[in-house]
Every structure is written in structure tokens, then in C-alpha cells.
């Protein structure tokens, strides 16, 4: 028997581990800050200044690492936001006489507002198109700064005074250093909390498997836009701190040189928050090394050679160390795939465990079918994948959808769940008409689904995968997660619910183990648990028994019978005909996108057209019991 008690959801031990990890992270961050703060006491002004610039640039690197590592967005335009923040603060202080504190706040707000406007069209792009578009933004900022009289043209704005706290002016590198670095660690803690919360988890899910995340209720485009604004705001903070130290801002602040440095900081840090801080320090040390060595090797060299050196380091990092410094430090042998997929029936969630109730909490809807598909047609070019298909599934009913390969079953599933928009016909779930092409509306209507080919979030463990399935049940966003305490209770609730879903399907492995390291059967069970986590009233399963052992199939069959007893409507696509005949109340047969037959399992099995097209000898083997 597995050591975990059958009645104890997998989230219980995980909650203790996460709490310990949070305390450990805070302890290490405090220790690291203490070590960093000692530098001015033991180093010369030159190295304190290097550390100071590393701290100033770390804000941009933290935001960029969040974009790249969590949302998968590679931006080369952060220097543009850096310049916007610096110019705004300089203009308000020197030309309008605003105080430095209020000017700093206003500069960050202006930067974030510009990012909110710019991000709407930019984030519709993907891949290298987004990268080029963000670079174009930085170029536009540099051109405007160079040509606009308000920004001082080519000369920029100078004479910005250094900050004064009380009666103490921050004139020495050590003074400013001690102001900047505590703010860096505070920003890193807040952003790290953001990315570990509900919104950050949803973005990581959308990066790993966008369709699966969308059908779990994740609206990735909105979350990406919000994170883009946060990253730009951090760029504005960096620009303000830079201008308050050097006293001048010029168009070079939005230049390619700085953009490459920012990207290198994030990449060297492995696109992680704390790695970005280390990357900022490393790049500043590298920059100082190049400034010293390049003139010795090439006496006539200028800044372009320094840029080449940074570019070569960036290319080498992406080629040989794509996970950056932190990835090299964390590298360890990859564990063998687990052979544990499901606990024995006497040890976990499905038979004799006390877990007799699966949570179902979707909207009950009006009386009538839980799912109604009416005359749905879907074409791809000249090919009609689904042709005027109609079917209904009622609460407490299991309906099997079968047919030969290429019959259009998965396309019909995609049309029902909003992954594709039907060309004709309607889909209604619990009396609610589903909009085509909007899969994030599925959970709100009370639906959950699995996929023919596994769609898992491979950067996460089993528990986090299932927590994404609970996404619609939460409300906490980046702000609540960043402050930690407001989102902590909700996180505990989602983790507990996900743990119960894993227990219900009989998952007996470590819930924090990466799903990529699980056996195929265990991965399939995680996907089913994710579909169940939000308590759907309609469950759509696309070949759920594929790749499962006989023990796992029997456990899944027992679970489906329990769900049927709880009035959950189930639409099941499955090639295991014996399982379909033993589990389903009705069977619908598709062939070449059309309805071939529908009826009870006995009626369908006796239909000559169905036998000729698909079934063959159904009685060749026994049913799944």
C-alpha cells in the first residue's frame, strides 16, 4: 500500500513542503541581501559603483525575466520603457519643479500607462514578430527623444539633482547603493510571489499547452498584457533610479546597446526572478571587463566592439546554457519515469477508500440536456470534417462517441468546447449557447475536457497541473499574489481541491513530481483530474483509456460510474469498443463526419452499417468491469 493515507489528499504534505520552501526562500533572500549590503564597507568606490549600476538595471532584468520565463514573450524593447521612465522623471523635476518622490511615482505610472496602450496591439504578435515589434518600439522612443524639443533633443536633459532623504543627500555611491539594493530585493520578492500565484501559474500553463489552458478557463492574452505592464513599470523604476544618479538622460538610454544588456541579464539568469538579479551583476562585471580588455587588445576600438562581446556571450548562453546560470547550478540527473500511475483499488480513491464523492460544482442549468449539439458543421478548406452532426447528453448519462479514425470525433469535441468555431449549427451547454472559438468559456458553463493527445503543463508538477483546472474558482490576480497574504488563503483552497481531485482518481505518486517524469498512465490520470477539479456538470473525455493498464482502466470505469450516479453528464470518445459498450447508456457512431447511427449499445452493436463500417466482432473480448 502506498504510504500516503487514502483519505489524505496529496495536497496535505505539499502544503507543508511549500510553506517550508517559502520560509527557506525568504531566509536565503534575507541572507543574500545582508551579504550584498556589506559590499560598500569592504570594496573601493569603483566596485561599489559597478554594484550600484547592477542594482539599478536589475529592475528591468526582473521584469524581462518574468516576461520570458513565465509568458514566453521575448521583448527587446525594455530600453524604451527605461528611457520613458527616466525622461518623465527628469522633465517633471527640472522643468516643472516637482519633488523627486512624486516625480518618480508619476514616471512609473506614465511608463505603465504607455505599456498598457502599446501592449494591446503588440501582444497579438507571437515569436520573432513580437521581438521585432518591441525592438521597433525602443527605436521609436529613441528617435522621438532625439527629435523632440521637450526631451532636449540630442543633448537630452541634464542637471537632475540627486535625491535627498531628510537632510542627507545621497551623493556617494555607497549612499545610493544602500537605497537601491533593498528596493531590488523587495521587487524580486513581490514579482516572485506574483509568478508563483494563480495568475502566474495560468500563464505558465498557457506557455506549455495553450489550448488546454484555455479550456481550463485561462485567458492568457489578458494575463500576458498585465504582466507586460508590470515589466514595463519595473523598467520605468530602473530609468528613474538611473537618472537620479547620473543626473542626465539622453536618447542613448533607449539604444540597442542597453536592450542587448537587459536581454542578456534575463537570459543569463535563466529567465527567473532571482536569476535575473544575478544576471544583472554578472553583466555589469562582464561589461567592466570588456571596457578594460578591449582597448588593450584593440587600441582603436570603440563601443561597438563592446556590443559585439555582449552579443557573443548572449549567443553562447542561448546555445549552450539556455537555462542560464541558475539552470547550471540546478542541473541534476533526470529521474527515471515513475512506474506508479494509480494506487491499488484498496489503497486509494476509487474503491473502498472512503472517497465516495467526487466534487461537482458546475451550474446545474435548466431542465433538459446538459449538452445539445444541433446541426454542427465544420470545414477546413475543401474538407468537411463534421457534417450536420446533432446529439444530446443528459445529466446522469454516459454517451459514447465512436467511429473509425478520421471520422471527425475530435473535431466535434473541439467545436463543442470552443477550440474551433463551427461554420454552421449551435452548441448549448446547460442551456447556455457556447460562442465558437472561445474555449475559456467552457468551465464557466460547467464543462471540462481531456485531449486525445496528452496536453499537460510540463513545467509543473501533478498538483499544479490540476490547480490550473481550478482556475475559474479563484479570483486572486498578480496584485494579491504579489502581496502574498491576500492570495494565500485562496491558494490553499485551490491546492486542497486539486489534491482531492487527485485522490479521487487514485493518483498515488508525489504530487509535486514533474509530470514529464510520470509514467504515461499517471500522466493520463493527471489530465482527467484536471478536467474534474472545477466540478463540471458535463465531462468530455477524448480517449481517456488509451495507454492505461487494466488496473487503471477498471479504476477509471469505477470513477465514471460514480460520476454518473452524481448526475454528471459524460461524453466519451473511445476506441476501446468493449469499454464503450459496458459503460455507456447510449452510443453515437460517426463516419466521415456524419451521424451513422445512435441508440443503446445493443442497438448499435446490431446495426449492420455500424458493424460493416467500424465495430466488427464486438464480442471478441469481454467488457471493462
Which single residue is written with the C-alpha cell 468551465?
443
Helix (H, G, I), strand (E, B) or coil at 72: coil
Nearest alpha-carbon partner for 465 in 518, 414, 419, 418: 518
Retrieve residue 385's grid coordinates: 470534417
Q: CA 316, CA 6: separation in Å to the nearest integer? A: 49
Q: CA 451, CA 455: separation in Å to the nearest integer? A: 6
Q: CA 524, CA 543: separation in Å to the nearest integer? A: 10
Helix (H, G, I), strand (E, B) or coil at 290: helix
Query: Exposed (0-12), middle (13-18) or buried (19+): which is 334, by Cβ within 10 Å?
Result: exposed
Residue positions counted in the chain: 625
Query: Exposed (0-12), middle (13-18) or buried (19+): which is 432, by Cβ within 10 Å?
Result: middle
Q: CA 371, CA 507: separation in Å to the nearest integer? A: 29
| Sequence-distant (≥ 6) Cβ neighbours of residue 488 within 8 angstroms | none
For residue 617, what pLDDT is reported? 46
| Sequence-distant (≥ 6) Cβ neighbours of residue 151 within 8 angstroms | 87, 91, 144, 145, 157, 251
Q: CA 312, CA 332: separation in Å to the nearest integer? A: 27
Q: CA 219, CA 242: separation in Å to the nearest integer? A: 35
Q: CA 483, CA 490: separation in Å to the nearest integer? A: 13
Tell whether the torsion through CA atoms of 220, 277, 262 and 87 is positive or negative.
Answer: positive
Q: CA 429, CA 446: separation in Å to the nearest integer? A: 8
Retrieve residue 98's grid coordinates: 516637482
Q: Where would I find the beta strands (DSSP E) of 394-546?
A: 398-402, 424-429, 432-433, 447-449, 538-542
DSSP 473: G
For residue 339, what pLDDT is reported? 45
For residue 325, what pLDDT is reported? 63
Contact 159, 30 (CB under 8 A): no
At CB < 8 A and 24+ separation, what contacts does 73-76 make? Answer: 73/123, 73/130, 73/224, 73/228, 74/130, 74/131, 74/134, 74/263, 75/130, 75/131, 75/134, 75/228, 75/231, 76/131, 76/132, 76/134, 76/135, 76/138, 76/259, 76/260, 76/263
Contact 203, 46 (CB under 8 A): no
Q: CA 396, CA 186: separation in Å to the nearest integer? A: 52
Retrieve residue 436's grid coordinates: 465558437
Q: CA 176, CA 39: separation in Å to the nearest integer? A: 13
| Sequence-distant (≥ 6) Cβ neighbours of residue 227 within 8 angstroms | 66, 67, 70, 71, 199, 203, 478
For residue 16, what pLDDT is reported? 59
For residue 449, what pLDDT is reported? 95
Tell me the helices (H) and strands (E) count for the chain, helix number first: 22, 14
Which single residue is written with the C-alpha cell 518618480?
104
Q: What are the start-end ranges of the H helices in 43-127? A: 45-66, 78-94, 100-122
For residue 546, what pLDDT is reported? 84
Helix (H, G, I), strand (E, B) or coil at 114: helix
Which single residue is written with the C-alpha cell 488563503?
489
| Sequence-distant (≥ 6) Cβ neighbours of residue 456 within 8 angstroms | 208, 209, 212, 465, 515, 516, 523, 526, 527
Tell whether the torsion through CA atoms of 361, 193, 524 and 549 is positive or negative.
Answer: negative
Q: CA 395, CA 566: separation in Å to the nearest integer? A: 9
Retrieve residue 435's grid coordinates: 460562442
Task: List beta partners, residue 400.
Answer: 572, 587
| Sequence-distant (≥ 6) Cβ neighbours of residue 112 within 8 angstroms | 229, 230, 232, 233, 236
Q: CA 287, CA 46: separation in Å to the nearest integer? A: 13
Which single residue is written with the C-alpha cell 526631451?
151
Retrieve residue 503's grid coordinates: 485522490
For residue 313, what pLDDT is reported? 77
Q: CA 471, CA 216: separation in Å to the nearest integer? A: 7
Contact 401, 409 (CB under 8 A): yes
- pLDDT per 10-residue tile (average), the chain, 625 residues: 42 60 76 89 93 96 94 92 97 95 97 96 89 93 93 93 87 94 95 93 95 95 96 97 96 86 88 91 86 71 65 74 64 48 38 42 63 95 93 95 90 94 94 91 94 92 95 91 81 92 86 91 92 94 87 88 94 89 93 93 90 62 46
Amino acid at each position: 500500500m502506498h504510504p500516503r493515507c487514502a483519505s489524505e489528499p496529496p495536497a496535505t504534505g505539499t502544503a507543508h513542503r511549500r510553506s517550508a520552501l517559502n520560509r527557506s526562500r525568504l531566509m536565503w533572500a534575507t541572507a543574500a541581501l545582508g551579504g550584498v549590503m556589506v559590499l560598500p564597507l569592504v570594496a573601493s568606490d569603483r566596485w561599489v559603483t559597478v554594484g550600484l549600476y547592477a542594482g539599478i538595471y536589475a529592475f528591468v532584468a526582473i521584469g524581462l525575466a518574468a516576461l520570458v520565463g513565465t509568458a514566453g514573450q521575448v521583448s527587446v524593447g525594455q530600453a524604451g520603457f527605461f528611457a520613458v521612465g527616466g525622461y518623465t522623471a527628469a522633465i517633471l523635476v527640472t522643468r516643472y519643479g516637482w519633488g523627486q518622490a512624486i516625480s518618480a511615482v508619476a514616471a512609473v505610472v506614465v511608463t505603465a500607462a504607455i505599456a498598457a496602450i502599446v501592449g494591446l496591439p503588440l501582444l497579438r504578435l507571437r515569436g520573432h514578430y513580437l521581438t521585432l515589434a518591441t525592438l521597433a518600439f525602443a527605436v521609436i522612443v529613441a528617435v522621438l527623444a532625439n527629435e523632440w524639443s521637450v526631451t532636449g533633443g540630442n543633448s537630452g536633459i541634464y542637471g537632475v539633482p540627486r535625491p535627498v532623504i531628510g537632510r542627507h543627500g545621497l551623493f556617494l555611491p555607497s549612499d545610493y547603493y544602500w537605497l537601491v539594493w533593498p528596493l531590488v530585493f523587495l521587487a524580486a520578492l513581490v514579482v516572485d510571489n506574483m509568478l508563483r500565484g494563480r495568475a502566474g501559474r495560468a500563464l505558465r500553463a498557457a506557455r506549455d499547452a495553450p489550448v488546454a489552458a484555455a479550456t481550463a478557463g485561462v485567458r492568457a492574452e489578458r494575463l500576458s498584457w498585465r504582466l507586460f505592464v508590470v515589466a514595463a513599470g519595473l523598467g520605468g523604476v530602473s530609468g528613474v533610479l538611473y537618472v537620479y544618479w547620473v543626473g542626465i538622460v539622453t536618447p542613448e538610454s533607449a539604444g540597442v546597446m542597453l536592450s542587448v544588456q537587459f536581454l542578456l541579464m534575463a537570459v543569463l539568469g535563466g529567465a527567473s526572478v532571482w536569476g535575473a538579479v544575478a544576471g544583472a551583476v554578472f553583466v555589469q562585471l562582464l561589461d567592466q571587463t570588456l571596457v578594460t580588455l578591449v582597448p588593450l587588445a584593440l587600441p582603436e576600438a570603440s563601443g561597438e566592439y563592446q556590443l559585439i562581446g555582449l552579443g557573443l556571450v548572449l549567443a553562447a548562453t542561448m546555445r549552450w546554457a539556455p537555462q542560464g546560470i541558475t539552470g547550471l547550478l540546478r542541473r541534476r540527473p533526470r529521474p527515471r519515469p515513475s512506474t506508479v500511475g494509480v494506487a491499488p483499488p484498496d489503497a486509494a480513491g476509487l474503491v473502498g477508500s472512503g472517497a465516495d464523492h467526487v466534487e461537482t460544482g458546475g451550474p446545474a442549468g435548466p431542465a433538459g440536456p446538459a449538452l445539445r449539439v444541433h446541426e454542427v458543421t465544420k470545414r477546413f478548406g475543401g474538407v468537411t470534417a463534421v457534417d450536420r452532426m446533432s446529439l444530446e447528453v443528459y445529466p446522469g448519462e454516459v454517451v459514447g462517441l465512436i467511429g473509425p479514425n478520421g471520422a471527425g470525433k475530435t473535431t466535434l469535441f473541439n467545436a463543442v468546447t470552443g477550440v474551433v468555431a463551427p461554420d454552421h449549427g449551435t452548441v448549448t451547454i446547460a442551456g447556455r449557447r457556447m460562442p465558437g472559438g472561445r474555449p475559456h468559456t467552457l468551465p464557466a458553463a460547467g464543462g471540462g475536457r481531456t485531449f486525445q493527445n496528452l496536453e499537460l503543463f510540463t513545467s509543473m508538477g501533478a498538483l499544479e497541473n490540476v490547480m490550473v483546472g481550478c482556475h475559474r474558482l479563484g479570483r486572486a490576480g498578480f496584485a494579491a499574489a504579489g502581496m502574498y497574504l491576500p492570495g494565500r488563503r485562496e491558494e490553499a483552497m485551490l491546492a486542497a481541491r486539486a489534491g482531492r481531485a487527485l485522490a479521487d482518481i487514485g493518483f498515488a505518486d508525489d504530487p509535486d513530481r514533474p509530470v514529464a517524469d510520470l509514467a504515461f498512465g499517471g500522466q493520463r490520470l493527471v489530465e482527467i483530474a484536471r478536467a474534474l477539479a472545477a466540478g463540471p456538470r458535463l465531462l468530455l473525455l477524448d480517449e481517456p483509456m488509451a495507454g492505461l493498464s487494466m488496473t487503471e482502466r477498471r479504476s477509471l470505469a469505477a470513477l465514471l460510474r460514480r460520476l454518473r450516479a452524481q448526475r454528471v453528464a459524460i461524453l466519451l470518445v473511445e476506441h476501446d469498443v468493449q469499454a464503450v459498450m459496458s459503460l455507456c447508456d447510449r452510443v453515437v457512431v460517426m463516419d466521415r463526419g456524419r451521424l451513422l447511427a445512435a441508440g443503446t449499445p445493443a442497438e448499435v452493436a446490431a446495426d449492420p452499417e455500424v458493424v460493416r463500417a467500424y465495430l466488427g466482432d464486438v464480442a471478441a473480448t469481454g467488457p471493462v468491469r
